[in-house]
Structure 1
Amino acid sequence: MWNTWLVLFLALSGLLLIGGFWRELLGEGRVWLKWAHIVFGLALLIPVIYYLLLAAKHWKRLKGKTGQKTNVIFVLALLLGWLISGIVLWQFRLAGPRAANAALLIHDLLTWIGLPVIIYHSITRVKWLKEPKKRSIVAEETNAGSTAADVPKRPAPYGGSQPVYTRRGFVKLAVGAGLAVTLGPTFVRWASKALQLPGTADYAAGNANTLVPDPVPLADSSPPVGGGADGSFRVYTVTDIPAFDNSNWSFTIDGLVDKKFTWNWKEFVKLQREVQVSDFHCVTGWSVYNNTWEGLPLYKLLDMAGVKNTAATVKLYSGDGVYTDSLTLAQARMEDVMVAVLHDGKPIPNQLGGPVRLVTPQMYAYKSVKWLNRIELIAEDHTGYWELRGYDKDAWLPGAKRV
């Protein structure tokens, strides 16, 4: 019974964690749910060990029962797959981005494969309906090795009349409701974004930003010197995705600087840009490789403004009006930290954080602020949006050169 409840919790909490729809609703609670998912996920070791210890004896009792043998193999493979891929995702810093990327896809796929089975077994194995009037008149499940004839017939409840609903009817209703409520918004998004993830061209076609003129790409951007992005982005936001035009967009650098700047779009795209090729890694486990970004190195913007001696932190603002994060001055002066305007030779679409976003190749992407429109130099430390909600301020990738 505890095993079924454990796996049911993991399946449902896993769906909530991967869904962008639920991410926006859960907010800070998502971090606590993630840790609960990890702790209970590690508890899968108990049923896995149990299965392995009893495998030989149980297997002999299933002689000639092909269906039950298949079920045992399926459940054990499901538990092992979840456990191993989950450990890789939990220890993503040690595993590295490529291993985490593969583990995330496997973990998600096993959830969709196993969830209907898990819901069914959880409801049918747990003694859910304890009130006599809510029991059906089906016989109890037989013990292994016995036949239906060996099981004593139970009298029909409350005078032999048919129950309001049968156990089988209840299971069908519960499974259908569980699939509809839990999988509804989550499955649609996962199926479209994980199994048939849109490419950068698809995002560009749906770009809701209407700023003019388009920036003219440098020679290394068109065609992209990196050969084009390898992989697909998953879109996560904490607000609705904003869109911008020339009337509602500007870029500011202020705070503890010698000279404050505010550019409109026409002025901003005239600034001298550079090109870099780098990988993009999300803390949830997925990656996009060989991105060709074109934009302004952050340290050059800081030099233009002139940083006062009292400044210690670079605070970064998103155009969604909610999200912020920060870098130390040393981190902000790394050569590959870029205020990007183009991706693979095209304007960054609003779904991917355009028209301007930060790129921090040696850190996980929650530091790469989307819809970046303001940089403020401050004297104190600043704790960013997700760091306030449990994320680590140490966002370095494995093997990154820390400063």
Structure 2
Amino acid sequence: MSTPASKELRPDGKPRLPPGQHLTTGWPVLHYGSIPRIDLETWRFHVWGLVEEEKSFTWEEFNALGQVTDTSDIHCVTTWSKFDNTWEGVPFRALYDAIRLKPEAKYAMIHCYGGYTTNLPLEDLLREGVLFAHSHNGQPLTKEHGWPMRLVVPHLYFWKSAKWVGGIQFLDRDRPGFWETYGYHIYGDPWKEQRYA
């Protein structure tokens, strides 16, 4: 007899479903504001802040940093979770290896087309499974889900996995991003139910 998906365990023996979450087989669409219009010909990914040299990548240059495929579970602060998402894209580590950070760089602010921002510790971006995804389950992302590229940080609530990413600013201290300034938790660990401040 098979075990229900909600009771499946992670490799560390803990349940896959965080407290207060329920499974969905769909993929709800949630975002603030309208979907930005993006042209891949003019799309750029900018890197600035506490770096030795600011950089700007075209779509082709960014994707040439390296490609990976990774499967992970995702958990939204609005209480839905979706298991076994297969992502394709550029691992954060590949970007990290292509730039030179100043020693005091400990945090990052993700900047997106449309004006959205979210904050993350550098050590979280360096974790396994964190990537800039252009595809989900074998298909290019839809515009509603962040085409042409979104960040995926599977170990945190999904608002940290920003859609329509266009750049990253490195900082020496943590600063709240868009939802964090409106009362969302500064970090967002689903296993600790860090939903709101």
1:124-135 superposed matches below 5 A: none
**1:98/1:292 Cα in 2 relative to 1: closer, same or farther (>3 Å)?**
farther
| Partner amino acid, structure 2, of 1:330 | E
Report the counterpart of residue 47 of structure 2 in structure 1. Answer: 253
Q: Which runs of 4+ in 1 moved over 6 A?
A: none
Q: Which has the higher strand share?
A: 2
Distance across 2 between alignment mates of 1:267 and 1:388: 33
Quote the RMSD (CA, aligned, Å).
2.3
User: How many angstroms apart in 2 are the aligned matches of 1:394 and 1:256?
Assistant: 21
Q: Of residues 113, 119, 124 in structure 2, which corresponds to 1:331? A: 124
Correspondence 1:219-368 to 2 at 5 A: 231-321=25-115, 323-368=116-161
2:151–2:161 Cα contact (<8 Å) kept = yes
Encode CA deviations 1:343-367: one digit per residue, 9 max, x unaligned: 1122111100121111111110011
Question: Could you say which residue in structure 2 is the equivalent of 1:381?
Answer: 174
Question: What CA deviation, in whole Å up to 9, does each residue of 1:138-193 have, x standing for no partner?
Answer: xxxxxxxxxxxxxxxxxxxxxxxxxxxxxxxxxxxxxxxxxxxxxxxxxxxxxxxx
Q: Provide TM-score, normalisation by structure 1.
A: 0.42
Unaligned runs of 5+ in 2: 1-15
Letter in 2 for 1:237: H
Q: 1:98 to 1:382 in 2, by over 3 A?
A: closer
Q: Check conservation: 1:312, 1:328, Cα contact below 8 A.
A: yes
Amino acid in structure 2 at the alignment position of 1:351: E
Tell me how far 1:399 sits from its aligned partner.
7.4
Q: Which runs of 5+ in 1 are unaligned?
A: 1-94, 103-229
- 2:19–2:190 Cα contact (<8 Å) kept: no
Q: How many residue pairs end up in the alignment? A: 179
Task: Give the structure with the higher percent helix.
Answer: 1
Q: Output the CA distance in 2 between the equivalents of 1:343 and 1:97.
A: 22
Which letter does structure 1 place at the counterpart of 2:160? K
Quickly say closer, same or farther: Cα 1:307–1:241, change in 2 above 3 A.
Answer: same
Answer 1 or 2: higher relative contact order, Cα 8 Å, separation at least 6. 2
State the structure with more CA Rg. 1
